[in-house]
Amino acid sequence: MPDIRANLPKKGRGVITNPSGRHEPLQRLAIDDGWALEEDDIAPLRTTVTDEACRSAITYNRSPDLPFDRSINPYRGCEHGCAYCFARPSHAHMGLSPGLDFESRLFAKPDIARVLERELEKQAYACQPIALGTNTDPYQPIERQYGLMRQILEVLAAFNHPITIVTKSALVVRDLDILGPMAARGLVSVAVSVTTLKRELSRKLEPRAPTPEKRLATIGALSDAGIPVSIFAAPMIPALNDMELESIIAAGRTAGATSAVYSLLKLPYELKDLFSEWLNEYAPGRASHVLSLLSQSRGGDLNDSRFGVRMTGTGTLADLLSKRFRLACKRVAMDAIGARTEPGTLGLDCTQFKAPPKAGQQMALF
């Protein structure tokens, strides 16, 4: 029988195991072979980044749950390591694990800005807001090295293209010199994700993401720069952090956010087992209660992918969470963005979009 010590939590990582993806013909199972008996004997898990050729920069969707139909993701995988991340199962398409592989074996698209510029220059391109940060965080730690998000912003600013950004990283303030002027032209809004105000819980749930205090400070910096900013209270996890909903919204308002949005935890595919493992390790006394309440809000399962309910859930608990959210926003005079709406996509100006002239290109007479 496999020894439980083979699956010890790894310092600085979100999930505990590294199971094979659902598309793999063989399944991996970690066992203790007797050589590494203690956590200190296990070598730390290093992050690796692989460059990936970019065929297209913009991804389109037809989801009725989202008010945007296009997005850009400069990276695959995310080093923040959030145990609840709904994007984890996407790593299975790469032949990798949605577990530890997702947060340690990353992919970057070094040529994405050049490809994006080429796509925007096409005559058939029709401008609509582009969402950044919809799958993995564009400001995750490797952005400091690669700078792909900044390159993307430079292209979008040159084209006067409206955008929305969702992030939990303080690194977004690095680009205030681009975002500030775009905001003055009605071209950008940012949402900062805050899952909990408790530092200890955040450290376990989101081991490589900035602290809650730093995220609130980021909201303040964005607001001071004149950038419309929302607080994204997500995901709400029953009996773990949902009791903080009102406090998170109030803290966001104090920091400078003018609107808020929330979503209920969803556990697609491999994430069901990965998050259950996390609960049994870090909140064993609550694990069965959390999963039971989530199941009650997901039609008897741990995930419900139906359009219209996948973001908010159904049932008594889900309805109560929705009412609490709207009352909390009203109490602090904050706009309550619909739970099925990406923060800040409304009100952006698409009429200014225009391809910038290239060097040596003749200017239009009219």
Residue 103 lies in a domain: yes
Q: Round to whole Å and give the CA distance between 206 and 14.
A: 6
Structural domain of 205:
4-336
pLDDT of residue 357: 87
Residue 83 lies in a domain: yes
34: left (phi over 0), alpha (psi -120 to 50) or beta: left
- What are the tens digits of pLDDT across the range 319-356? 999 999 999 999 999 999 864 454 444 689 999 999 99
Domains identified in the chain, total number: 1
Nearest to 115 by CA among 170, 62, 76, 57: 57
- CATH code: domain of residue 302: 3.20.20.70
Q: Round to whole Å and give the CA distance between 176 and 117.
A: 21
Residue 272 lies in a domain: yes
Q: Round to whole Å and give the CA distance between 144 and 80.
A: 13
Residue 102 lies in a domain: yes
- What are the tens digits of pLDDT across the range 77-136? 999 999 999 999 999 999 999 999 999 999 999 999 999 999 999 999 999 999 999 999
Residue 345 lies in a domain: no
Q: Which of residues 186 and 5 earns the better pLDDT score? A: 186
- What are the tens digits of pLDDT across the range 176-192? 999 999 999 999 999 99
Residue 341 lies in a domain: no
Residue 359 lies in a domain: no
Residue 346 lies in a domain: no
Per-residue pLDDT averaged across 52-72, rounded? 93
